[in-house]
Amino acid sequence: MTRHRNHGLGRLVARRLLVLPVVLVAVAAMTYLLVAVSPFDPMSAYEAGSAGLSAQAKDEIRAAWGMDAPTYLQFLHWLGNVLQGDLGHSRLLGGQPVLPQLGARLAPTAILVGTALALTLVGGLLAGVAAAAFRDSWVDRAIRGLSYVSVAAPSFWTGLLLLWVFSSWLGWFPAGGSANLRARDVGLVDPRYLVLPAIALAATQFAWFAMFVRNQLLEVMREDYVVFAQAQGIGRWPVLLRHALPNALLPFLTLAGVHLAEIVGGTILVETVFSWPGLGQLAVEAARAVDLPLLVGITLLGSVTVVLGNLLADVCYRVADPRIRESTA
Amino acid sequence: MKTPLDVLRRGDTDVASGTMQRAPATRTPPARRPRRRLPNPLRGRWGVLVAATVLGLLVLGALGADGLRPAADLRSDLDQVLLPPSWDHPLGTDAAGRDLLTLILHAMRVSFTVAALAALLAVLLGGAIGIVAGVVGGAVDAVIMRVVDFLMSQNHLLFSLLIAVLAFPVAGGAGAVMLAVGLTHWTSMARILRSEVLTLRERPFFHAAIGVGAGRVHLVRRHLLPHLAPSAALGFVLLAPHAIFHEAALSFLGLGLPPDNPSLGTLVAAGQQALLKGGWWLVLFPGLVIVIASMCVGALGDWWRARSQPRWRSELEL
């Protein structure tokens, strides 16, 4: 039985993992193309730091950098480096190699994304069940209204309003940063610093989940087996939670995969608002300083994360739903 | 009293199943990608009317900014720094003593213009790419659609950031925002128009046109474009809220519109500094305009889509 449960799953994962390098190369090619067609010239960026170079010196520097080679050769060279983990050096961070720097900033962002994702899923689930259980009551209407507004509200604005109310006014939470700057050895992050950014990040996405759960539940509640359970005299909540909810939840995981991209991208804005020392803030700093190796590195890392997240969601979905599992095995 | 939310009671149909027959016992597995749609409180006749009125007022305010509150009044006045909303300054003043309402009216004009042009760019780009994919077909189509699939699974802001940085030196703030939004948001439009082209290609009139010897350019211009125009127009409206959001986000990060020609996002960023000194109105009001504008445009887009393209619900993830 257990063997049967995972039949075909290994093959699926293997196939998707095989595609991963292709995706990585495609992303790299696309980013490279963007930089290549843009008017950005590394020479003039370099020149800004050291004035008065002769034309001959410039040519020599270009040649030393390999900039006299055809574009496709430059691309292949760069791609080879990227695949070996060499993303170049960051001007912003004093000429250090990019990859180790990304690694150092990964943990805070991962914690923020993880917390926000958990908040989104749990909050969306609770709100969706509540809205479905009290359909058309004021609870339902309040949740739907809130959902609609929260999706339209940009996360940086929500974040600033949270800061104003809970930090400036009520003083419940610190205004920004994360505790790990001061207490390097004591755990990673002080939870008090995490609350507001995680809420701001989750607020942009939770509505999709709440409305999704609500609509799925209301749809499933019409099925024969649910009607039969109700006819048996089983109480309202057991029917809702034990009979209807599991079936309503199946595509939830895929939705989580889809919205992971939004949450990862959302860190750019939220980390900037809350001075959260993660990759999102670093991306903005790199963008303001036109530090391309760093910015490209973060973009690549972000899109690979999203691809992996989607893969993970797919795998979980297949484990959870036997019908899908059999149709693709 | 009827609130906008009351409209929901009638209009809300648990979205897809409202009119469907009960599903058979052996249900086919649900689609791999769940729908991304929210019930919209601004729907139904009254909701749409409210949305259209509010949006109309905002646009009028933006267009009439010079008449209502001339930019010449925007002198900094150090006696009037960070005043809360009052009769003279309905939305308060900023850290330089300028009237926030005046700032917002002018910023709205900038934001709406940039967002509209950005959405237009996305539609044109997506339309061109989608038509090429549909008309040429084959390997070109396959490659284009893989790129579309990939881009649609990604977050747009990451790539917007990169594009805005690269385009900034030549295109300026507004141009960079337009390019960033246009180059990331064309995908859904391309997907939709491609599928429409594929359908149109099977229609008798198209075969007839080929039969009488019409060339490719003529076919696209006379037989495809007129059929695609309504969808493109709808796509423009549906993309507009995204464009508003992205413009605001990039400007907020300091990569879009500069402080001397502020957009709504720039104003929020400026308000950030004042927030700790108690200047909540500098953040609340510009952001509120962003929220209201995108909700109203979204509501109108939803309404139009429901009337003209009910099938898009499942296909479109803008």
* 8 A C-beta contact, residue B273 and residue B216: no
- Taking residues A114-122, report their average pLDDT: 91
Output the pLDDT for position B178. 93
Distance CA B160, CA A43 (A): 24
Query: Which H helix or E strand runs over B300?
Result: helix B281-308
pLDDT digits 0-9 by tens, A153-203: 899 999 898 888 887 777 777 776 655 455 454 445 677 788 888 999 999
- Closest CA in chain A for residue B3: A141
Q: At A88, which amino acid appears?
A: G
Report the DSSP pairing between strands A89-90 and A96-97: antiparallel
- Who wins on pLDDT, A105 or B130? B130
Least confident of A26-35, A97-106, B5-14: B5-14
Closest residue to A144, CB basis, from B32, B39, B154: B39
- Taking residues A272-298, report their average pLDDT: 87
Half-sphere exposure of B306 (CA within 13 A, CB side): 18
- Taking residues B103-122, report their average pLDDT: 92
pLDDT digits 0-9 by tens, A73-93: 888 888 888 877 777 777 777
A148 to B41: CB separation less than 8 angstroms, yes or no: yes
Among B296, B283, B289, B285, which residue's Cα sits nearest to residue B252? B283
State the pLDDT confidence band at B169, using cuts at 50, 70 and 90: confident
Of chain A residues 275-294, which have a CB less than 8 A from chain B?
283-284, 287-288, 290, 292
B287 to A157: CB separation less than 8 angstroms, yes or no: yes
pLDDT(B316) > 70: no
State the pLDDT confidence band at B291, using cuts at 50, 70 and 90: very high
- Who wins on pLDDT, B19 or A304? A304
pLDDT digits 0-9 by tens, A131-159: 988 888 898 889 988 888 888 889 999 98
Look at chain A and count its residues: 329
Output the pLDDT for position A327. 56
Stated pTM of the model: 0.82
Residues 6+ apart with CB under 8 A from B173: B251, B255, B256, B257, B258, B261
Measured between its terminal Cα atoms, the distance across chain A in Å is 15
Task: State the smallest CA–CA distance between residue B204 and chain A in angstroms.
Answer: 37
B38 to A211: CB separation less than 8 angstroms, yes or no: yes
* 8 A C-beta contact, residue A169 and residue A155: no
Query: A90 - beta bridge partners?
Result: A96
Output the pLDDT for position B315. 40
B284–chain A Cβ distance below 8 A for any pair: yes
Show the domains of chain B with their CATH numbers: 51-71+90-312 (1.10.3720.10)
pLDDT digits 0-9 by tens, A33-55: 888 877 777 666 666 655 667 77
Task: List CB contacts (< 8 A) between B280 and chain A.
Answer: 164, 168
Distance CA A216, CA A306 (A): 25
Q: A41, A146, A148: which to substitute to probe chain B, counting the most B Cβ within 10 Å?
A: A148
Helix segments in B137-224, DSSP class H: 138-153, 156-200, 204-211, 216-218
B10–chain A Cβ distance below 8 A for any pair: no
Of chain B residues 107-146, which have a CB less than 8 A from chain A?
146
pLDDT digits 0-9 by tens, B258-280: 888 888 988 898 888 888 777 88
- Closest CA in chain B for residue A34: B163
- Closest CA in chain A for residue B245: A154
With helix as H, strand as E and coil as C, how does A268-295 read? HHHHHHHCCCCHHHHHHHHHHCCCHHHH
Q: How is residue A79 written in tokens?
A: 């791609």
Distance CA A266, CA B6 (A): 33
Measured between its terminal Cα atoms, the distance across chain B in Å is 35
